[in-house]
């Protein structure tokens, strides 16, 4: 295959080598470990072309609607039961714009492959092989490169984000820190569970749902073994839930052998949205580590026995990102300061903070440095 397409989107040329190396590395490692149903690694040039074409398609509109589309690099034979077009369609920005209205629903991917004439569109699929290269166009100028998890469950693992001339590549090494919260390591694909009702997979869906409503909010995950967290909340609670609501918890407890994956996905979506919608209410939403809803609209305060949080350790899982020690007010507004204070007081809890601008931060306690740590993970939730 000889690809002669000349890219005009400079970020495509800048990032394609790094992305190609990522897929080569993970696919080689998976093959060495005996994993099956593996995708074919895209070449550096193929990645460059797909990014370039997708970027220009993202800036076009069809009947007034912006282009939203997901592209996957795979042969039809790897797609299970694909929807095949009678004729191959050359991969162009115009072709993607025309197709987008019919394939913009979540879980539908436009299949891309190549022949002697270059890259082409062969149809659509809802099934992908492991580590399949996927590029999502979610809004004008915003592209997210990701791949299907090896387990096939939960959110895809993000590799890079391109927005205009901004390029951010995920740094997996951040998750190697011994005190990294499980939600971070799972999103980085370092400990992804193959169990469909694994609690951390559900927590990730909650984070995605919180970010999606775009109103901002705080979700506190507290231990079910004790009520110490109440020391850091103003009483009386504005919206206590009694008995605690167990919609999500009951679903997690279901036997995975008696429910289908499709049933679980649909049921989980409904239950998660039922809970995370409440994070849009002013104050914090509180759930326990069994995902039972305890309260929402809760006002965080400093515990009487505690001291004000002065410094936190801030990091973001991107290449070139630096870990910084700073005051929590330097990374956001009152939500971030309140969440940092809560974790400073309740060190066995977790705080998830969504900002209206799309930023998303996870606060947890670091025993290693004896300090609140903040991981900004919005790049992993796109």
Mean pLDDT of 328-352: 95
- Can you name the residues that pair with 72 across neighbouring β-strands? 111, 134
Only one residue has tokens 């909340």, namely 233
Mean pLDDT of 239-265: 80
Please, what is the Cα angle at 186 between 185 and 188, to 5 degrees?
A: 65
pLDDT of residue 216: 95
What is the residue-wise DSSP string for 271-286? HHHHHHGGGGSSSEEE
Instruction: Tell me the pLDDT band of 336, cut-offs 50, 70 and 90.
Output: very high
CA 276 to each of CA 33, 219, 222: distance values in angstroms, whole numbers, following the listed order: 38, 8, 16
Q: Among 9-23, 127-141, 165-179, 348-362, which stretch is predicted with the lowest mean pLDDT?
A: 165-179
- The residues, ordered by sequence, that sit 6+ positions from 151 with a Cβ below 8 Å of its Cβ are 192, 193, 194
Distance CA 119, CA 71 (A): 12
Instruction: Tell me the pLDDT band of 196, cut-offs 50, 70 and 90.
Output: low
Please compute Rg for the chain using Cα positions.
22
Task: Supply the DSSP symbol for 318.
Answer: B
Q: Among 81-90, 149-158, 269-278, 322-331, which stretch is predicted with the lowest mean pLDDT?
A: 149-158
Task: Supply the DSSP symbol for 114.
Answer: E
Domain edges within the chain:
10-169, 176-380
Instruction: Tell me the pLDDT band of 3, cut-offs 50, 70 and 90.
Output: low
Residue range 176-380 forms a domain whose CATH class is alpha beta
pLDDT of residue 258: 62
Helix (H, G, I), strand (E, B) or coil at 98: helix
Decide if 215 contacts 278 (C-beta within 8 A): no
Q: Compute the mean pLDDT over every residue in the chain, rounded to the nearest whole number.
A: 90
The pLDDT of residue 56 is above 60 = yes
Mean pLDDT of 281-307: 96
pLDDT of residue 191: 66
pLDDT of residue 259: 61
The pLDDT of residue 156 is above 70 = yes
pTM of the model: 0.87
Decide if 145 contacts 54 (C-beta within 8 A): no
Instruction: Tell me the pLDDT band of 195, cut-offs 50, 70 and 90.
Output: low
Q: Is 170 exposed, middle or buried (0-12, 13-18, 19+ CB in 10 A)?
A: buried
Helix (H, G, I), strand (E, B) or coil at 283: coil
Instruction: Tell me the pLDDT band of 267, cut-offs 50, 70 and 90.
Output: confident
Instruction: Tell me the pLDDT band of 262, cut-offs 50, 70 and 90.
Output: low
The pLDDT of residue 340 is above 80 = yes
Instruction: Tell me the pLDDT band of 148, cut-offs 50, 70 and 90.
Output: confident
């Amino acid at each position: 295959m000889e690809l002669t397409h000349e890219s005009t989107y400079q970020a495509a040329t800048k990032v394609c080598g790094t992305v190609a190396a990522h897929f080569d590395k993970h696919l080689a490692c998976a093959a060495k470990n005996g994993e099956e149903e593996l995708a074919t690694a895209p070449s550096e040039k193929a990645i460059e072309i797909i990014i370039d074409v997708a970027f220009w398609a993202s800036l076009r509109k069809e009947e007034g609607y912006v282009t939203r589309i997901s592209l996957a690099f795979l042969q039809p034979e790897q797609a299970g039961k694909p929807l095949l077009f009678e004729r191959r369609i050359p991969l162009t920005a115009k072709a993607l714009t025309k197709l987008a209205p019919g394939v913009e629903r979540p879980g539908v991917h436009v299949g891309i492959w190549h022949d002697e004439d270059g890259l082409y569109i062969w149809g659509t699929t809802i099934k992908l092989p492991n580590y399949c290269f996927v590029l999502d166009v979610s809004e004008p100028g915003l592209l997210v490169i990701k791949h299907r998890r090896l387990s096939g469950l939960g959110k895809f693992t993000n590799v890079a984000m391109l927005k205009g001339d901004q390029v951010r590549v995920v740094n997996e090494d951040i998750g190697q820190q011994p005190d990294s919260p499980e939600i971070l390591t799972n999103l980085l694909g370092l400990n992804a569970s193959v169990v469909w009702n694994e609690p951390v997979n559900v927590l990730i869906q909650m984070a995605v749902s919180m970010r999606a409503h775009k109103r901002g909010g705080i979700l506190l995950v507290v231990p079910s073994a004790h009520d110490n967290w109440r020391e850091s909340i103003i009483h009386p609670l504005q919206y206590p839930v009694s008995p605690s609501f167990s919609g999500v918890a009951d679903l997690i407890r279901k036997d995975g052998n008696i429910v289908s994956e499709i049933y679980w996905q649909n049921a989980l979506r409904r239950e998660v949205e039922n809970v995370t919608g409440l994070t849009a209410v002013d104050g914090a939403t509180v759930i326990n580590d069994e995902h039972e809803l305890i309260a929402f609209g809760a006002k965080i305060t400093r515990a009487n026995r505690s001291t004000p949080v002065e410094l936190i350790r801030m990091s973001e899982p991107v290449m070139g990102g630096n870990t910084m020690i700073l005051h929590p007010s330097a990374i956001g507004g009152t939500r971030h300061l309140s969440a940092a204070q809560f974790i400073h007081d309740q060190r066995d809890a977790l705080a998830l903070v969504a900002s209206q601008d799309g930023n998303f931060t996870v606060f947890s306690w670091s025993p290693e440095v004896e300090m609140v740590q903040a991981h900004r993970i919005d790049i992993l939730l796109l």
